[in-house]
Amino acid sequence: MEILRNLPLFPESASTFARDVDALYFFGLFIAAFFSLLIAVLVVVFAVKFKRRSENDYGIPEKTSLPLEITWSVIPLIIVLGLFFWGVKVFVILYRPPADAVEYFAVGKQWMWKFQHPEGNREINDLHVPVGVPIKLTMTSEDVIHSFFVPAFRVKADVLPARYTTVWFEATKPGKYHLFCAEFCGAEHSRMGGSVYVMEPHDYEAWLAGEEPGKSLLASGEELFTDLACHTCHTGDTGGRGPLLTNLTGSEALLADGRTQERDDLYLRESILDPAAKIVAGYQPLMPSFQGQINEEQLLALIRYVKQLNQTAPGEGVQTAAQSSAAAADEG
């Protein structure tokens, strides 16, 4: 097994679902190899056994066998269906982050990875995470298609411009693991890589304390919300110039053309960059576009801030989730 770990085709298994992915892969590989070998052997055996032994040897008419036909149809069907449902199970595990996953953020750019921790710390081409903690990575690209790939975790997902994709993993072993871009993205594609450092929780906390802390995503979003003057149109005391940006998560907007639209990350992103694309019913297209004025990292921050805005009592405008919690604590 030590030899296998050093082979490039057998990277170390360092996440909770790496063994599930490996088991599915090797089972499929075994099935393919077994039947390929079986067919090759049978071809040789039948070629020798039934070869023409004389010029007058024309063989005998072949008889069909219904049980044989059913057998070699049903067995492959069972195997393929088994692989399909097993694959679906692994897929669901891979692409459904647990509810308690800690959200980190990544932006791909020719030719680097930019990461932000929930505490505000930022890194380029390196990502430090604690062992045994589910990590959800929300990703987007500033330019072309990239692909986030950590072989040891068995996670890979395309990172697309103007889209948000996610992967998650829970590292099981402290160590340094290679990070690659698995999608050709330009002249320096081969150099677009990095490392994921998995640390014990106390070491991770020490690393965070030793780094220069930046603003958290929510703090950056709140600052942008003010700097871009969003509060002049989207709070409760603005006279209805723009829709209230409160309690958006899980809600839908009624558009001027009669359609409904889920207020998800992509909708909010489009509303910031191209506000005239989907006008909310009852409002005029007054909002200017911020295309070219803010980058992808700022967009992520602004969207995360807006999504956690909660509505206060009528006439009191809006407040953040943190402010709501503080107010509830004071009342208690």
- pLDDT tens per residue, the chain (332 residues)? 455 556 666 788 999 999 999 999 999 999 999 999 999 999 999 888 888 777 777 767 777 788 888 998 999 999 999 999 999 999 999 989 999 999 999 999 999 999 999 888 899 999 999 999 999 999 999 999 999 999 999 999 999 998 999 999 999 999 999 999 999 999 999 999 999 999 999 999 999 888 777 778 888 888 888 888 888 888 766 566 888 888 887 788 888 888 888 888 888 888 898 888 888 888 888 888 888 888 888 888 888 888 888 744 333 334 444 443 333 334 33
Q: Quick check: 311 and 246 in contact, CB under 8 A?
A: yes
Instruction: Assess if residue 147 is contained within a domain.
Output: yes
Residues 147 and 243 grouped into a single domain: no
What token pair was written down for 96? Answer: 């459904």
The verdict on 72 and 120 lying in the same domain is no
Residues 89 and 16 in one domain: yes
Domain co-membership, 83 together with 108: no
- In this prediction, residue 217 carries a pLDDT of 82
Q: Given the structure tokens 């072993």, which residue do they identify?
A: 173
- Report the distance separating Cα 19 and Cα 325, nearest Å: 41
CATH number for the domain spanning 81: value is 1.10.287
Residues shown for the chain: 332
pLDDT attached to residue 239: 62
289 and 192 both lie in a single domain: no
Q: What is the pLDDT of residue 257?
A: 85
pTM of model > 0.85: no
Q: Decide: helix, strand or coil at residue 302.
A: helix
Return the closest-CA partner of residue 105 out of 9, 221, 22, 224.
221
Region at 60 (left for phi over 0; alpha for psi -120 to 50; beta for the rest): beta
- Our count of domains for the chain comes to 3
* One-character DSSP codes across 205-247: HHHHHHS-----HHHHHHHHHHHTTGGGTSSTTSTTSS----S
* Beta bridge pairs of residue 311: 318
DSSP state letter for 318 = E
pLDDT value, residue 7: 62
Q: Which pair of structure tokens corresponds to residue 12?
A: 């170390």
The SS3 of residue 199 is strand
Per the structure, the complete domain to which residue 278 belongs is given by 217-331
The pLDDT of residue 229: 86
CA distance from start to end of the chain: 59
Does some domain include residue 124? Answer: yes
Judgement on whether residues 83 and 106 belong to the same structural domain of the protein: no
Cβ partners under 8 Å of residue 151, min gap 6: 11, 177, 178, 180
Q: Within a 10 A sphere around the Cβ of 208, how many other Cβ atoms? A: 16
CATH of the domain at 296: 1.10.760.10
Phi, psi of 255 (to 5 degrees): -90, 165
Burial class (CB in 10 A: 0-12, 13-18, 19+), 215: middle
What is the predicted pLDDT for the residue at 49? 85
Instruction: Tell me how crowded residue 301 is: count the other CB atoms within 10 A of its CB.
Output: 25
| Residue 1 falls inside a structural domain | no
Helix axes 66-95, 18-49, angle to 10 degrees: 160
Q: List, in sequence order, every residue forming a beta bridge with 115; answer none if it has no partner.
A: 106, 123
User: What integer pLDDT is reported at residue 283 of this predicted model?
Assistant: 84
Are residue 23 and residue 76 in the same domain, yes or no?
Answer: yes
- pLDDT of 231: 81
- 205 and 286 Cβ atoms separated by less than 8 Å: no
- Asked if the structure places residue 180 within a domain, the reply is yes
Q: Are 199 and 178 contained in the same domain?
A: yes
